[in-house]
Amino acid sequence: MDPVNINVSQDQVETLQMLLGIDGSSEAPPPDSDRQDAIIVAIDVENAPRITKDDSPETVNAQIGFAILDTKDLSNSTAPADIKTYNFVMGNLEYYRRVSPDLLFGESFNLTKKEITQKIIDLIPKSRNIVLVGHDIKADLRAGHALHRLLTLFGIPFRNLHCAGNDANFTLRLLLLLAIHPLENKCLSACQEEMLTKLRQISHAPLPRLNPHSSNLTVDLRWQARRERRKRKVQARLQTLRERLEM
């Protein structure tokens, strides 16, 4: 890979490597250690200036995306680790129906600001070490390169950007590869090589063809049904017009 100039500090990269078990340690940390007790959470907000205002109305159309990776899953040999993604949509139902089909992962929820706050509390356990990947890191990534260019550069499959859940998922995938990048072509232990393989698989996992979750599938089906109804109406009008012309 060609040299990449990305404004992420060395301390941030080293912290990620430690949490992911790919730092200088020759052995894997025990499952109950702090290094293997972290949950990495990437956050993305669409329409952030309006949703973050204290007096913003519940009718504001906005999205908050969460992508979550539990580092304990990385050391679990029986179940593959994956990124869990959520998309919380504020605003009217028409906005929810319009943006939900863009979500590639997880499930989209139409919630109020208060409900979103409770959902976030329920998703993130208080007893675990939480690492937030939020606006500051993402802003740094975008300072010199567009997100889509970095995803392309690192070979991460992507589409439907500017959907909060998707962007959070892609940002977390990218962050994993940023942690791996300095270790490429270096002499590593077997444990480190195994972990690097897992992280590459997560980052380069193919995109789903169709979101299987019911909320998005329902939105897709409603849209298709509406299109079919319009098509039938047009056909009926054309048939009526032909019949009149034949009289």
Domain ranges in the chain?
10-210, 213-247
Bridge-based pairing of strands 62-70 and 84-90 is: antiparallel
Write out pLDDT tens, residues 105-149. Answer: 988 999 988 898 899 889 888 888 888 886 545 554 554 467 888
Write out pLDDT tens, residues 203-212. Answer: 999 998 754 4
Q: Write out the two tokens for 151.
A: 């995803």
Bridge-based pairing of strands 129-133 and 38-46 is: parallel
For residue 126, the model assigns a pLDDT of 83
Rounded CA-CA distance 46/89 in Å is 9
- 26-50 burial, b at 16+ Cβ within 10 Å, e below that, comes to eebbeeeeebbbbbbbbbbbbbeee
Bridge-based pairing of strands 84-90 and 107-110 is: parallel
This prediction's pTM: 0.76
**pLDDT interval class at 64 (50, 70, 90):** very high
Rounded CA-CA distance 220/224 in Å is 6
For residue 171, the model assigns a pLDDT of 92
